[in-house]
Amino acid sequence: MQRLLDVPAPAKINLFLHVTGRRADGYHELQSVFRLVDWADTLHLEARRDGRLSREDLRPAGDASPPLPEDDLCLRAARALQAASGCPLGAHIVLDKRIPQQAGLGGGSSDAASTLMALNRLWGLDWPRDALIRLGTRLGADVPFFLGGRNAWVEGIGDRLTPVDLPTARYAIVKPAAGTATAAIYTASDLERATPLAIMRDFVAGIAADPIRPWGRNDLQPVAMRLCPDVAAALERLTRLGLQPRMTGSGSAVFAVLPGDAEAAAVQTADWPNGWQIRICHGLPEHPLVGWQKDAII
């Protein structure tokens, strides 16, 4: 039995995010394109024969973000897979946390997905991808995307995914010191909830014609700007650098496509406030663990 695994858990950005309706159960209907980027956490996993599940949290020097909850998504994912599979083994998970929290970058969901894929291999379960996705759906709306393995057109409450090929791109991602509360944004009375349905081929044609200009919009952005002034400040600073920024997810991180090296250098050398995280990222064509499952990519 394999005893140790080190696996990446990449972040995502939302190239656009439309809220198209609200269901009777309170969940919002969305349309979005999720893109994987090379800003990633790393999980170190070791199998345990005593059946226990434990997690250790590592942080880079100077990281002032709040500690992860004791029952975080990694442990919840491990517990769910252990229960569903009847596996008697346990695991110790060391999470090297690099993706900031309350950023809209999907770090927690990505950690959960990589935990499921790693334990599936570490425990010798050999579950197919669709079985992991069904389990991941119960953990969080973004988990199925990371398990799917490809950049995707996303609909519904995040449960309907269509793979989409995206052009090569480099992004500036700026995470202000302040975070945003997703629940506060989705319950705001001024949130746009009736954006007309978009068509995927229009998006594909739009970014093919102009890969620099953002397509569509992020309906959560106006509310996030009101609740978190740092979001507005980050957007304004990137705009002053000649870029066309947008918030990802429910924020507070914002991003912009970088046309070339000059723009990347301008972002890296700009005078950013203390506590802000600035990262130059490349879009990924697929998840680094996409080949671990034998069935077809969703």
Q: Using one digit for the tens of pLDDT, what is the confidence trace for 198-245?
A: 999 999 999 999 999 999 999 999 999 999 999 999 999 999 999 999
d(CA 208, CA 167): 8
Residue 1 has pLDDT above 70, yes or no: no
103 falls in which pLDDT band (50, 70, 90)?
A: very high
d(CA 269, CA 177): 18
Domain housing 96: 1-62+70-298
Strands (E), 158-276: 160-163, 170-175, 246-247, 254-257
pTM, full prediction? 0.94
Provide the β-strand partners of residue 90.
48
What is each CA distance from 50 to 70, 89, 93, 122, 163, in whole angstroms?
A: 20, 6, 14, 15, 40
Exposure letters 230-259 (e unless 16+ CB within 10 A, then b): bbbbbbebbeeeebebbbbbbbbbbbbbbe
Q: Using one digit for the tens of pLDDT, what is the confidence trace for 180-206?
A: 999 999 999 999 999 999 999 999 999
Report the catalytic residues: 12, 142
Query: Binding-site residues for ATP, please?
Result: 100-110
CATH at residue 57? 3.30.230.10
Which amino acid makes up residue 101?
A: Q
Give me the number of domains the chain comprises: 1
